[in-house]
Amino acid sequence: MSLRRRQQVFTVTAALGGLLLLAWAARRAGISDIVDGIRRVGWGLIPILGLGGLRFAVRAEAWRLCAPIDRRLTWRQAFTAFLAGDAVGNVTPLGLLASEPTKVFLTRHHLATRESISSLAIDNLLYSASIVTMVGGSGVVLLLRVPLPDEWRKWGTVALAILLIAAIVFARLLRGSSGMGALIPVRWRERAAALRGSVLEFSSGHPLRLWRVYALDLVFHALAVLEAFLALRWLLGAASPSPLQALLFEALNRVITVLFKFVPFRAGVDEVSSGGLAHLLGMDPATGVALAIVRKVRNLFWAGIGMTIIAVHPGQAAPATDHL
């Protein structure tokens, strides 16, 4: 079986598995309760869609700041390329393996390939650091503020410890001082060295821009928490969610996005995990499932725009060239 054929089979299998999981989660939580919750959101879907677009705008600006100053992308170019790349990453099971080459392709008339790859590497590195910060902080809050079974608390503590250790090891590897060179595959060391070179080259001339990009990534997460908070307010009706609950739902969403990017739109996985968290927080599981579905609608909306950008993008034009 060819590689292309295997990818197609994997995509279909992941999609079908996700749909079956979605059907199971919806039936268990109560389809009528989920529908009622979504109906309560109503026109609230418009600001949710708007917040989704604003989040893309923030991430696009963060990427734009990672590009060389003398070949800087305009905000519009970065925004459209980011939308298209995210759409491809959601539709296919390849995640970054599909989204990042799409961004490189759509900006090839404005950035040389080497510059695009370098800027995306720096952007993804800082975005990953922001995810670790957000998820780690949310995990600490969860352990301190939410009553959990002893077994869950133990494994939660272990997970946070692993996250912290992994972050420290990666940071040392990036600095070239991990002390574990013999234990790390040569290919990984080479990639870390290339990334370290890109970061050093970028930060040597623009030390404050690294922090600006990191701050923008944190703003991206803050907007996502706001989106979850507003959606929960409409879903819960008379009850009012707390900012802590919104934070925990978004932290879970980040974890699921990272772990299950190979499932198109994370169908089923989002719904099951959100329903489980809702139960843990003392909510009706139908609320968590409905929240995931509302956010799925937002994903589909912006993915449709992203795929339209790809469809109308000019195929022929002279690409940018590397500086000599």
pLDDT at 310 > cutoff 60:
yes
Percent of the chain scored above 70 by pLDDT? 79
**Is 290 within the bounds of a domain?**
yes
Q: Which whole number is the average pLDDT over 124-132?
A: 90
pLDDT at 130 > cutoff 70:
yes
What pLDDT score does 53 carry? 93
**Is 323 within the bounds of a domain?**
no
Cβ-proximal residues to 6 (8 Å cutoff; 6+ apart), any chain? none
What pLDDT score does 317 carry? 47
pLDDT at 148 > cutoff 70:
yes
What pLDDT score does 318 carry? 46
pLDDT at 180 > cutoff 60:
no
On the CB side of 145, how many CA atoms lie within 13 Å of its CA? 13
> Taking a C-beta distance cutoff of 8 angstroms, is the pair 255, 280 a contact?
no
pLDDT at 292 > cutoff 70:
yes
pLDDT at 324 > cutoff 50:
no
**Is 107 within the bounds of a domain?**
yes
**Is 4 within the bounds of a domain?**
no
HEC readout, 248-309: HHHHHHHHHHHHCCCCHHHCCHHHHHHHHHHHHCCCCHHHHHHHHHHHHHHHHHHHHHHHHH
**What confidence category does residue 257 fall into, taking pLDDT thresholds of 50, 70 and 90?**
confident
Write out pLDDT tens, residues 230-254.
999 888 877 788 889 999 999 999 9
What pLDDT score does 219 carry? 95
**Is 319 within the bounds of a domain?**
no
Q: Is 157 or 26 the better-scoring residue by pLDDT?
A: 157
**Is 3 within the bounds of a domain?**
no
**Is 8 within the bounds of a domain?**
no
Distance CA 125, CA 102 (A): 18
Where in the sequence is the domain holding 145, given as residue range(s)? 16-307
pLDDT at 194 > cutoff 90:
no
**Is 93 within the bounds of a domain?**
yes
* Number of domains present in the structure of the chain: 1
